[in-house]
């Protein structure tokens, strides 16, 4: 039986974040293919952390900047190591390379952090994203991490093109792997509340994630007042984990703008709402909230950024608008026009089935891993930049870590 070590940036929280859902999808792929999985993480668990032991996955708490990890990983001696985000690879990649040189190293960045930062910078400056924005310090760190790994899983086709065309990264070290949807497990739309049985608008997303917080502000200040003029009895329900005091201050019952906080059941709150609103102004990767809306039969209105790389050329699950006045009008149209709403529902199902088939993309990943295991030496020789990064970049990370470890004694 092959062994897989996943080094988590945090313990997965599928009820709080799309990243948590993504991690459980990856775990499911490897578990279904007879991998023995150990999940290790240096972060503290929260009340929302998923119980991985319920899936017969071994878990262990590890320490940053501590040589105890070396003993742990040398004894485990995994065939495959999956780094959850490049920050984890920076911390532990050199230790894996030294203690388990034969293990395949795979990076799952979730989305490209540097792209999200570049877009956020451009948004704040009210400019288009430039090459100068894209080549920030975070870019250099994240791309160095990509080169140091044998394979990096890219969730978005847009990001695949960006890495290959703009940054000239060889396709051999990249693998497109979007969200994985098992069409056989999708409930028929008739099992969800109908148009007539639903009410209100919904927005959902972890408030720690800056694009989500910005989108809530956009709803509160620009979009919801226009919708409320047309639909004075409708409510805007805002769900998300980690609602701080500044989030709670937006709650205003007289305006129908309600901060609901963490949703115990994402399916329940989305499927009982009539329309999902996601006016995202910046970000990267794929949007889990919009995937959820499609799965639960809830049409959505989002932006170009929100829908990026999610539907190929298929009709959207509602409307895509970048002007907040048009956004508001389309939200009202979806809310009041049953035929438009039902057509949008069907569009969502088509997107899920055609763009995110689990069987197709999971098998491609497994085939790639099998190939790399058989051609590991050749693959690494061809990735000469990766060996340079291991030799130079990680030396600084390594000795900084050792210095911290000595300092902590």
- Tokens at residue 60, please? 């262990």
Distance, CA of 295 to CA of 189 (rounded, Å): 9
Residue 99: per-residue pLDDT: 96
SS3 state of residue 59: strand
Read off the pLDDT of residues 94-143 as tens digits, 9 standing for 90 and up.
999 999 999 999 999 999 999 999 999 999 999 999 999 999 899 999 99
Q: What pLDDT, on a 0 to 100 scale, did the predictor assign at position 394?
A: 58
In tens digits, the chain (409 residues) has pLDDT values of 899 999 999 999 999 999 999 999 999 999 999 999 999 999 999 999 999 999 999 999 999 999 999 999 999 999 999 999 999 999 999 999 999 999 999 999 999 999 999 999 999 999 999 999 999 899 999 999 999 999 999 999 999 999 999 999 999 999 999 999 999 999 999 999 999 999 999 999 999 999 999 999 999 999 999 999 999 999 999 999 999 999 999 999 999 999 999 999 999 999 999 999 999 999 999 999 999 999 999 999 999 999 999 999 999 999 999 999 999 999 999 999 999 999 999 999 999 999 999 999 999 999 999 999 999 999 999 998 888 887 665 567 776 777 777 778 7
Q: How far is CA 48 from the centre of its chain?
A: 17
d(CA 350, CA 313): 11
Q: What is the rounded distance in angstroms from the CA atom of residue 219 to the CA atom of residue 237?
A: 11
CB of 308 within 8 A of CB of 162?
A: no
Question: Which pair of structure tokens corresponds to residue 245?
Answer: 């005091």
User: What confidence tens digit (pLDDT) does each residue in 287-297 have?
Assistant: 999 999 999 99
3-state class of 243 per DSSP? Answer: coil
The pLDDT of residue 392 is 63
Spans of all domains in the chain: 3-180+357-408, 184-355
Classify domain 3-180+357-408 at the CATH class level: alpha beta
Task: For residues 147 and 161, give the distance between their C-alpha atoms in angstroms, rounded to a whole number.
Answer: 16
Nearest CA among 266, 261, 271, 292 for reference residue 199: 271
d(CA 151, CA 103): 12
* Fold: same for 3-180+357-408 and 184-355: yes
pTM of the model: 0.95
Q: Which residues share a beta bridge with 40?
A: 7, 60
At 400 the pLDDT is 75
Cβ distance 122 to 130 under 8 Å?
Answer: yes
Where on the phi/psi map is residue 309: left (φ > 0), alpha (ψ -120 to 50), or beta? Answer: left
When computed from its CA atoms, the radius of gyration of the chain, rounded to whole angstroms, is 22
Q: Compute φ and ψ for 119, nearest 5 degrees.
A: -70, -35
Q: CA-to-CA distance for 8 and 51, rounded, in angstroms?
A: 14
Longest dimension (CA), the chain: 67
> The tokens of 277 are what?
């609103």
Eight-state DSSP code of residue 151: E
Strand order in the sheet with 104-108: 58-61, 36-41, 3-8, 80-84, 104-108, 151-154, 174-176
pLDDT attached to residue 306:
98
Position 406 scores a pLDDT of 77
Q: What is the CATH number of domain 184-355?
A: 3.40.50.2000
């Amino acid at each position: 039986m092959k062994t897989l070590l996943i080094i988590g940036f945090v313990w997965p929280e599928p009820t709080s974040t799309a990243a948590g859902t993504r991690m459980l999808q990856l775990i499911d792929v490897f578990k279904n293919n007879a991998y023995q999985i150990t999940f290790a993480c240096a972060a503290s668990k929260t009340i929302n952390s998923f119980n991985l032991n319920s899936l017969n996955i071994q878990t262990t708490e590890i320490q940053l900047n501590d040589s105890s990890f070396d003993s742990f990983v040398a004894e485990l001696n995994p065939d495959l190591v999956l780094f959850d985000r490049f920050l984890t690879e920076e911390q532990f990649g050199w230790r894996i390379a030294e203690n388990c040189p034969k293990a395949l190293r795979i990076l799952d960045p979730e989305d490209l952090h540097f792209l999200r930062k570049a877009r956020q910078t451009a948004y704040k400056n009210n400019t288009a994203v430039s090459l100068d924005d894209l080549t920030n310090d975070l870019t250099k760190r994240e791309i160095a991490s990509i080169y140091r790994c044998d394979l990096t899983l890219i969730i978005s086709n847009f990001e695949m093109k960006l890495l290959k065309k703009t940054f000239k990264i060889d396709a051999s070290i990249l693998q497109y792997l979007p969200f994985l949807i098992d069409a056989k497990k999708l409930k028929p739309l008739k099992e969800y509340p109908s148009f007539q049985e639903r009410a209100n608008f919904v927005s959902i997303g972890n408030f720690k994630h800056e694009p989500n917080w910005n989108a809530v502000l956009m709803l509160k200040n620009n979009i919801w007042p226009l919708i409320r003029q047309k639909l004075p009895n409708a409510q805007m329900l805002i769900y998300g984990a980690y609602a701080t005091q500044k989030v709670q201050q937006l709650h205003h019952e007289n305006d129908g703008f309600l901060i609901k906080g963490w949703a115990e059941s994402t399916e329940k709150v989305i499927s009982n709402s009539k329309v999902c609103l996601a006016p995202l102004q910046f970000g990267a990767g794929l949007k889990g909230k919009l995937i959820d809306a499609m799965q639960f039969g809830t049409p959505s209105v989002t932006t170009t950024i929100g829908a990026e790389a999610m539907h190929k050329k298929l009709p959207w699950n509602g409307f895509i608008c970048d002007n907040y006045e048009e956004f508001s009008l389309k939200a009202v149209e979806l809310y009041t026009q049953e035929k438009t709403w039902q057509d949008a529902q069907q569009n969502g199902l088509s997107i899920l089935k055609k763009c995110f088939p689990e069987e197709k993309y999971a098998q491609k990943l497994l085939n790639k891993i099998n190939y790399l295991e058989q051609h590991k030496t050749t693959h690494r020789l061809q990735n000469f930049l990766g060996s340079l990064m291991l030799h130079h970049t990680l030396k600084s990370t390594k000795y900084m870590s050792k210095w911290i470890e000595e300092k902590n004694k």
